[in-house]
Amino acid sequence: MSDETGVPSADAESEQPAGVSRRGLFGLLGAGAAGLALGAAGGAGVTAAVAAQATTPASRVYPFFGAHQAGITTPAQDRLHFAAFDVGERTTREELRELLVEWSAAAAQLTQGLEIGETGAVGGSDLAPPEDTGEALGLPASGLTITFGFGPSLFETADGVDRFGIADRRPESLVRLPRFQGDALKPEYTDGDLCIQACADDPQVAVHAIRNLSRIAFGRASLRWSQLGFGRTSSTSTSQATPRNLFGFKDGTANVKSEEAAAVDEHVWVGAGEDAAWMTGGSYLVARRIRMLIENWDRTQLQEQELVIGRDKAQGAPLSGGTEFTEPDFDASGAAGQPLIDPTAHVRLAHPAQNSGVRLLRRGYNYVDGNDELGRLDAGLFFLSYQRSPEQFITVQRTLATDGLNEYIRHVGSAIFAVPPGATAGGFVGETLFA
Amino acid sequence: MSDETGVPSADAESEQPAGVSRRGLFGLLGAGAAGLALGAAGGAGVTAAVAAQATTPASRVYPFFGAHQAGITTPAQDRLHFAAFDVGERTTREELRELLVEWSAAAAQLTQGLEIGETGAVGGSDLAPPEDTGEALGLPASGLTITFGFGPSLFETADGVDRFGIADRRPESLVRLPRFQGDALKPEYTDGDLCIQACADDPQVAVHAIRNLSRIAFGRASLRWSQLGFGRTSSTSTSQATPRNLFGFKDGTANVKSEEAAAVDEHVWVGAGEDAAWMTGGSYLVARRIRMLIENWDRTQLQEQELVIGRDKAQGAPLSGGTEFTEPDFDASGAAGQPLIDPTAHVRLAHPAQNSGVRLLRRGYNYVDGNDELGRLDAGLFFLSYQRSPEQFITVQRTLATDGLNEYIRHVGSAIFAVPPGATAGGFVGETLFA
């Protein structure tokens, strides 16, 4: 089991053939199997016991426990359900801690393709509400990962009261992002005390996870906003083809990939001694809902589109030449002396060379949420990036102030979260904060 | 090629191996290939020429031309993008007709995994906006079907003017649905002059289709409302497993299946001489956005959930006994004399026995559109049903007035559309109306 990459090892001992749904077995065999599964989920053996050889996306199973949380360097799954929560005004420190304990226990089950609780959706008493809502009964794990984060507001004092007793444990850099040029943020897509990122190759599995975790939170935390993403816009593994965003361009070609161990350590994980101690092995997550003005974009000529991006649309090759993975040559110029990659091109401004060497691990998704009253699709990119410090995102986003792409996008939502390290088997995510 | 079932025949002649993306070839080979593809799309040979043997969902290709439109009896794909349009006030009959011609030509290309237009996303002039928006470049056809419909408002006179000269061709039954008990309809999810249903196994392919068809409509018709569905809630083929809705129950067990040729003819297709002549071979589509109050549902005991549905949650078997596909016995009673299937159970009230033998072909999808201001998921069922007459839906929906499920759902959107027959190769959907 490789905690570093999140890739399930092919030689992990497996209790069952790949592709068989334990979720199904669990629900239908009743309390005996349920007890067994709960025991496994709570114990050290869970990841090895239920990991299956990944032969199809549906049969992929990622361990929940590990040095880092899964869902960061894990090869980006195809679908997303993301949720931000507000903790209730009267929720106590102990209740918040208990919520995190319950969330981790449920996430450990869900990510292994199990139902939540002791009896799942159909194994309990007829006279009680089922523990699990059941819409994922019979579906395999589908590569589900569940990643938890803490927003800056969780550490804030309310009316002078340090409500969870963690105000002094806030990492110095965990503050709301500064206002960037062009920001048009709406409260309904912004901020949050807690977040959960659920990624899977089956949207029903991701939705089921967020729904059941929201239900567990009832009375202690409630949904502030949530976002479905239907298609990934980044690769986080060299084994993945580069997907296209809704501008029709390949996106994330130069992303930090999980196989680049040194780059991941340098750019993604918080190192020992460089931040609040409880964040060692964690990361910072920036979420931005970026509305694309796709009707405007669609009316621009191909040359303008390619100039704005700095890559050709067909292959994703930089306009300085080569193929998709050729390094852009920002000094190259054409016959008339003009730079082949425009000074305002997105690929130039987002490049580490323009940002003191900073890189981000991007994990965004395409979204379409109906249309606005003018009949324009409410569509765009739900940008997610992981970095060892919020300063990395801030640096890049400030450089992008002159990005030609700004004419075609609006940042309408924004949030930042401290993503703590992974939980040890039997522990919970956030344990280092509440220790 | 079977027009009846929409299932691509396994022995269709194929120009290429299954799973190879022609969309990719088309875009990257440039104008020569583009011209060839356009010729094919416009000609009689298109369906046979590009149909590939379906070995995976991604490689499935369904013919666009045929006696009936695809996307009705076609085995329900996993993902949906549905759009309703208003035709512009100044749009003329000829412009509307031309829009339908262009829509059909584009749909014929899209459903075969091709880009739209003559040059696609990257094959045209650098100095023109690309014809295709490009986000599906490199993706296979993914079983895409595109189905067009006409709402009652298309036939209405405006200020006494018969704007498209079709007022006298309105089928008598094509009127807005009556108000049903409990309806809580919102204008933003209701009605529409035209509709397009795009179903595919890859959501990016469905979104790409709606986006490009919306773009073609620019200046003539604009999006009124649209809906993404992430998971199918019905099977339309006996080859498909029954999926679960967001109440966690199997849905659509007793649906009309494409393999039931007699039932399809009896319940789905408009027969010759029984309706407006231009509708022969067509059907009627009812769309209902049904919000599920899932938090309320999740707090009810398993016994109540099963009583309300009339089936057990694990297997989907009727409470009168047997397995999923056992016919419910509505007269069966328990030891205390109580009916095993409650008088208010959904399965009883929706059954043909309670509805003069009426059946519907359902093709609904689960949806989640973020959450409301109370932190409740805005989630439910986007119900789609096809029937030879709107009266079938009206009959069932009136019987459902006493459905126990009504406590847990709200109908918030509604629309009805006449779905004309399929187009002959080189023709367009709606040709029979405008002839």
User: What's the complex ipTM?
Assistant: 0.89
- Of B125, B134, B225, Cβ closest to residue A248: B134
Q: Average pLDDT for residues B168-182, to the nearest whole number?
A: 97
| Tokens 């009812």 -> residue | B286
Inter-chain residue contact A81 with B227, CB threshold 8 Å: no
- Of A129, A249, A370, Cβ closest to residue B301: A129
CA angle, B369 then B246 then A72, to 5°: 60
User: What pLDDT does residue A39 have?
Assistant: 32
Which element (helix H / strand E) includes B379? strand B377-387
- Judged against a pLDDT cut of 70, whether residue B174 lies above it is answered with yes
Distance of CA A277 to the CA centre of its chain: 23
Nearest C-alpha of chain B: how many angstroms from A238?
Answer: 18
Residues of B in contact with A192 (CB under 8 A): none
User: What pLDDT does residue A364 have?
Assistant: 97
CB-count exposure of residue B129 (10 Å: 0-12, 13-18, 19+): middle
Higher pLDDT, A54 or B273: B273
Inter-chain residue contact A369 with B370, CB threshold 8 Å: yes
CA A149 → CA A23, A80, A102, A208, B298, distances in Å?
26, 16, 15, 19, 26
Nearest to B46 by CA among B122, B120, B106, B133: B106
- pLDDT, tens only, B97-125: 999 999 999 999 999 999 999 999 999 99
- Of B222, B300, B376, Cβ closest to residue A375: B222
Nearest to A95 by CA among A211, A180, A220: A220
For residue A378, what is the nearest residue in chain B, using CA coordinates? B226
CA-to-CA distance for B203 and B177, rounded, in angstroms?
Answer: 30
Average confidence score pLDDT of chain B: 89
Higher pLDDT, B19 or A360: A360
User: What pLDDT does residue A55 have?
Assistant: 59
- Judged against a pLDDT cut of 70, whether residue B140 lies above it is answered with yes
- Of B27, B231, B302, Cβ closest to residue A128: B302
Inter-chain residue contact A137 with B248, CB threshold 8 Å: yes
| Tokens 């970026």 -> residue | A290
Nearest to A260 by CA among A190, A156, A360: A360
Q: Average pLDDT for residues B359-377, to the nearest whole number?
A: 95
The segments of chain A whose pLDDT lies below 70 read 1-55
Report helix, strand or coil for B349.
helix
User: What pLDDT does residue A214 have?
Assistant: 97
- Judged against a pLDDT cut of 90, whether residue B199 lies above it is answered with yes
- Judged against a pLDDT cut of 70, whether residue B1 lies above it is answered with no
Query: Is the separation of the CB atoms in A227 and A414 below 8 Å?
Result: no
CA-to-CA distance for A231 and B370, rounded, in angstroms?
Answer: 16
Nearest C-alpha of chain B: how many angstroms from A286?
Answer: 19
Rg value, chain A, Cα: 22
Q: Where are the alpha helices (DSSP H) in B260-301?
A: 261-267, 294-298
Inter-chain residue contact A226 with B370, CB threshold 8 Å: yes
Nearest to B42 by CA among B119, B121, B105: B105
CA A161 → CA A14, A157, A175, A233, distances in Å?
49, 5, 18, 41
Nearest C-alpha of chain A: how many angstroms from B303?
Answer: 5
Q: For residue B134, what are its two tokens?
A: 């490009």
Nearest to B393 by CA among B226, B180, B214: B180
Q: Which residue, among B371, B374, B376, B382, would best test binding to A if mutated, counting the most A CBs under 10 Å from its CB? A: B371
CA B355 → CA B230, B358, B404, distances in Å?
30, 5, 17
Q: Which residue, among A79, A132, A207, would best test binding to B if mutated, counting the most B CBs under 10 Å from its CB? A: A207
- Of A126, A138, A298, Cβ closest to residue B133: A298
DSSP per residue, B109-126: HHTTTPPSTTTTTTSS-T
Nearest to A263 by CA among A73, A421, A71, A3: A73
User: What pLDDT does residue B43 have?
Assistant: 33
- pLDDT, tens only, A57-83: 888 999 999 999 999 999 999 999 999
Q: Where are the alpha helices (DSSP H) in B293-362?
A: 294-298, 302-309, 346-349
With a CB cutoff of 8 Å and minimum separation 6, the contacts of A381 are A233, A245, A246, A251, A290, A292, A364, A365, A366, A367, A409
Nearest C-alpha of chain A: how many angstroms from B298?
Answer: 7
Residues of B in contact with A365 (CB under 8 A): none
Residues of B in contact with A247 (CB under 8 A): 134-135
CA-to-CA distance for B42 and B364, rounded, in angstroms?
Answer: 31
- Of B27, B81, B302, Cβ closest to residue A122: B302
Query: Is the separation of the CB atoms in A123 and A198 below 8 Å?
Result: no
Name B231's bridge partners: B366
Give residue B52's region: left, alpha or beta (phi > 0; psi -120 to 50). Answer: beta
Q: How confident is the model at residue B432 (pLDDT cuts 50, 70, 90)?
A: very high
- Judged against a pLDDT cut of 60, whether residue B213 lies above it is answered with yes
Inter-chain residue contact B248 with A134, CB threshold 8 Å: yes
Q: For residue A66, what are its two tokens?
A: 């590990």
What's the whole-model pTM score? Answer: 0.90
- Judged against a pLDDT cut of 50, whether residue B411 lies above it is answered with yes
User: What pLDDT does residue B23 have?
Assistant: 55
Distance of CA A398 to the CA centre of its chain: 22
Q: Where are the alpha helices (DSSP H) in A325-403?
A: 346-349, 390-399
User: What pLDDT does residue B19 have?
Assistant: 39
CA-to-CA distance for A281 and A429, rounded, in angstroms?
Answer: 12
CA-to-CA distance for B79 and B197, rounded, in angstroms?
Answer: 11
